[in-house]
Chains A and B, each alone.
Chain A
């Protein structure tokens, strides 16, 4: 347990706790970003450069922005007044601690784990790239296909159906029964230029 590890761990845990307990949702998501960055720092502390940088690129650069925009677009920015902790928080913590203990016990006592810890392998970005392109090329391609399919699906869901106008698709709602007010009439060309001719 070195000093950098302790500092990073403290910051990450503190930010994660803040992300759970702050009242303003945008503050929560910003604290979440700090927790992501702390996780990336932990990877870097373990000399895993590629994973650390990818963590920053994906989580801080993309996922955090996504979360923030989702909050902004779905809620008003007002701070909620009710208590942050749900009434059954004690049972929640008890259940999650029990699950964690069970999982930890199962993992630690399983025979799949190597008994003696070997020294950390020298992984460079080049090794990772070669492994991805040779040994794990099929899983990589399948993941790529899956993500492409998901993206196309998202686009199709968001796409307006052909032939429908904006109004029929429910994007523009104008009360057709109300009598049109005179301001909405388009200006006729004679009314504008009549004085000059």
Chain B
């Protein structure tokens, strides 16, 4: 019964395809899969915006949205209806294009942003047998379409003819280019161990259990470091706090989408969140076992439930970090990427090689953990040596 529940979407799709003539089947199959992605993930986006506003509100000791409920009744749904008026508002607002703006590029930028982000979902395995396009080079496809987002950010920033927009775009591109390197290098370790770029194979390699605990790569020394590096880099890639310099409200208004209003603004917002979900989904697939369950006695829970649960949990950590940490400065941002994360990612690749060639003995745990810990210690101490970090002194405020 649980197996049927696990495969319910696959079975339903095959059922529908049975009524369709043979020639149209590939087309209908593609349309069905795309429709599911296009309805589920923007739906999660809508809920997450409320989740985020209420969560940050709680952390900052205020209420957050709690008014919108069902119209003409007293039911308030704890404010979880807020996304509907928000959506209506952005649809009905006037779409303002600055007079000096480059109209065509200004119009195209949000569309160019959304298309690669949605394409990235094609290769993610959402559950057992639930991948839209199981490419041989799926991981490469994900990073390739992710790189196209930078162009849209540039288009938005440049076409607005606004110095804040251009500054925001410059910051965003510098940040994305820098953090793409540790992101890809930390994912390379998994490819080395699995021996495949296919995301389905990567999940299948983690779907084993020892003493009832899953073989997720986050539980190995190299996987732990890779997972943390990937997590930090994905925070930066999705422009989330503490890496939200591209849209730092207190400095450059809203960065590259300063001059966007109405539904174009909503498209940027949607694109940013969908990009965040996609990169979290990839992180789950690489290090947290994809749709597999962490312990063997919970394998009866459907695979897609595990995937979405893990995704929401990590989104919550993102929200938590946003409410907790202050924004980095530009030089700190670059130092973190190039001086700490890049060397650690390179050392981690070597460690993954050692792990592979030492065989399944217990010594490899010790050796790999020691190398990583030593590297972290040396790098951290070395970088901190010339930093004068102490009690902050104020010249005029005291």
Contacts and interface: CB of A to CB of B under 8 A. Distances in A.
Interface in B194-231: 195-197
A27 interface: yes
Nearest to B146: A61
Candidate in B144, B145, B180, B195 with the most chain A CB atoms within 10 angstroms:
B144
A56 B144 contact: yes
A57 B155 contact: no
A15 to B, nearest CB: 13
B196 A61 contact: no
A37 to B, nearest CB: 8
A69 B170 CA distance: 9
A50 B151 contact: no
B151 A49 contact: no
Interface core residue of A50, A57, A192 (most chain B CB under 10 Å): A57
B135 A60 contact: no
Contacts of A57: 140, 143-144, 147
A30 B150 contact: no
Interface string A178-197: 00000000000000100000
Given A30-B105, A53-B140, A57-B143, A65 B158 contact: no
Interface string B385-398: 00000000000100
A124 B136 contact: yes
Interface in A49-65: 49-50, 53-54, 56-57, 60-62, 64-65
Contacts of B84: none
B128 to A, nearest CB: 23
A65 B177 contact: yes
Contacts of A60: 144, 147-148, 151
B140 A50 contact: yes
Interface in B131-189: 135-137, 140-141, 143-148, 150-151, 154-155, 158, 173, 177, 180
A64 B141 CA distance: 18
Interface of A is mostly: helix
Contact of A126 (B140, B196, B396): B196
B137 A33 contact: no
A72 interface: yes
Interface residues of A, number: 25
Contacts of A64: 151
Given A30-B155, A56-B147, A49 B137 contact: yes
Given A30-B155, A125-B197, A61 B136 contact: no
Contacts of A50: 136-137, 140
A65 B197 CA distance: 26
A61 B147 contact: yes
B163 to A, nearest CB: 12
A72 B158 CA distance: 9
Contacts of B180: 61
A43 B257 CA distance: 34
A125 B136 contact: yes
A124 B177 CA distance: 28
Nearest to A62: B147
Contacts of B148: 37, 56, 60-61
A68 interface: yes
Nearest to A71: B158
A49 B136 contact: yes
A72 B102 CA distance: 15
A26 interface: yes
A65 B173 contact: yes
A79 to B, nearest CB: 10
A45 to B, nearest CB: 14
A92 B155 CA distance: 32
A74 to B, nearest CB: 15
> What are the 6 tightest A-B residue pairs by CB atom distance, in nearest-first order?
A61-B147, A56-B144, A57-B144, A53-B140, A53-B144, A125-B137
Interface of A: 24, 26-27, 30, 33, 37, 49-50, 53-54, 56-57, 60-62, 64-65, 68-69, 72, 77, 124-126, 192
